[in-house]
């Protein structure tokens, strides 16, 4: 889960709570472990952070180029005929 901070917040930086860090406004944090997920849920519920949607990338495949090449080859075979 990724979150984006709406305000500055000082919160725990490890699972034991023995270290703290400042989660700055407009920064995005990746909350992947269990303790981070709990912290992220608390920050979102209190209105200090918002959940960030996952970015998806799409790959565009162009098959038209290969089809054109195949048509050219078949056209040449029709014009010149098969080799004997």
pTM of the model: 0.60
Q: What is the pLDDT of residue 53?
A: 80
Provide the b/e sequence for 35-52 (b: ≥16 CB within 10 Å).
ebeebbeebbeeebbeee
pLDDT tens profile 29-73: 999 999 999 999 999 999 999 998 876 777 777 665 555 555 566
Q: Residue 25: which pLDDT band, with cuts at 50, 70 and 90?
A: very high
Domain boundaries of the chain, sorted by first residue: 2-52
């Amino acid at each position: 889960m990724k979150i984006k901070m709406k305000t500055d917040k000082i919160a725990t930086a490890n699972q034991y709570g023995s270290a703290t860090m400042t989660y700055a406004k407009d920064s995005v944090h990746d909350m992947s472990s269990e303790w981070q997920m709990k912290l992220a849920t608390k920050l979102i519920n209190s209105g200090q952070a918002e959940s960030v949607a996952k970015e998806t990338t799409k790959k565009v495949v162009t098959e038209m180029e290969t089809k054109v090449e195949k048509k050219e080859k078949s056209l040449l075979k029709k014009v010149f005929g098969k080799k004997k």
